Structure formats: structure tokens, C-alpha cells
Amino acid sequence: LNVYDKLPFRVIIDYAHNVHGLKSLCKLLNQLEVNGRRILVMSARGDRSDDNIGDSASAVAGSFDYFICRDYTDLRGRNAGEVPRLLRAGLVKQGISTRQIEILPDFSDAVGRSLSLAKEGDLLVILAMDSGKKAMDLLDSYRKTVCWK
């Protein structure tokens, strides 16, 4: 659990990658007071079953207001965009509106979009799994170029 507090909104980078980890993360995050929206950038590993990927979506569905689904860097046998589509289907099955879900398979695009959505008081959670350092670099770059030009 890495907390980035250098922006007008809080960013948490975590490596939860299975249903148990996601449920544990959500249990913790649900205890945080958040004045704005809760935004999640998520993925799942491609070598998981379709049902397991759907279960990952179910684990987070009640804890966030907006979801950006991306591909894991190593597709692990899946086609590009397949895992994000499965995540979206799992979220919709849990009652999440498609208006609350975006698919941006590329990690940098997904993080960039989440940063453009986040406002003061929001909580942005990035499940970086395979891209923790890249996430930190993107946050630092955003802070330098957008927030304090």
C-alpha cells in the first residue's frame, strides 16, 4: 500500500492481484473518509479463468464510483483488451452502470485518464501489480507538469 499525497487528491498504489487481496484492500479503503469519488484503475492477470476475473470485479464493485479497466502488461495468453472486457462484464453483473466504466488497455493511458478525472477530495487507487515504478513516475510527471506548471 503506497500512499501518494503530493496532489490535491489522494492516490494509493497497491499490488492486489487476486480476489482475497482485493477484498482485503477494499475492506481497508472503505474505512477511509473520502469527500469525493473513489476511482479505481484495475486489471487482472490473463492466466486466470474468466470466472476468477469476474470474481475480481465483484470484489471491488461496491467500493468505488468509477472504474478504468486495463490490460496486464504481460497478457499471459489473452488477446489485447480481453481482460478489461471481462472485468467490465463482471462489474456490470454487479449492477455497475457502463457509464461508470472505461476500458483503456494501456497502463499509461489508464493512469493518465484517471488523473484527468480525479479532483480535490477524490481517492484514486491504482492497482499497479506489474507497473509500480511506472505508476510513481507517471504521478511525479503529472504533478510537475499539470498541477504546478
Residue 149 confidence (pLDDT): 44
- How many CB atoms within 10 Å of residue 36? 16
pLDDT tens sequence for the chain (149 residues):
899 988 999 999 999 989 999 999 999 999 999 999 999 999 998 888 999 999 999 999 999 999 999 998 777 778 888 999 999 999 999 999 999 999 999 999 999 999 999 999 999 999 997 777 888 899 989 888 875 54
What is the Cα–Cα distance from 126 to 112, expressed in whole angstroms? 11
- How many CB atoms within 10 Å of residue 94? 14
Eight-class DSSP state of 6? S
Q: Three-state secondary structure along 7-62?
A: CCCEEEEECCCCHHHHHHHHHHHCCCCCCCCEEEEECCCCCCCHHHHHHHHHHHHH
- Determine which helix (DSSP H) or strand (DSSP E) holds 127, and give its type and residue range: strand 123-127
pTM: 0.93
- Per residue in 64-87, pLDDT tens? 999 999 998 777 778 888 999 999
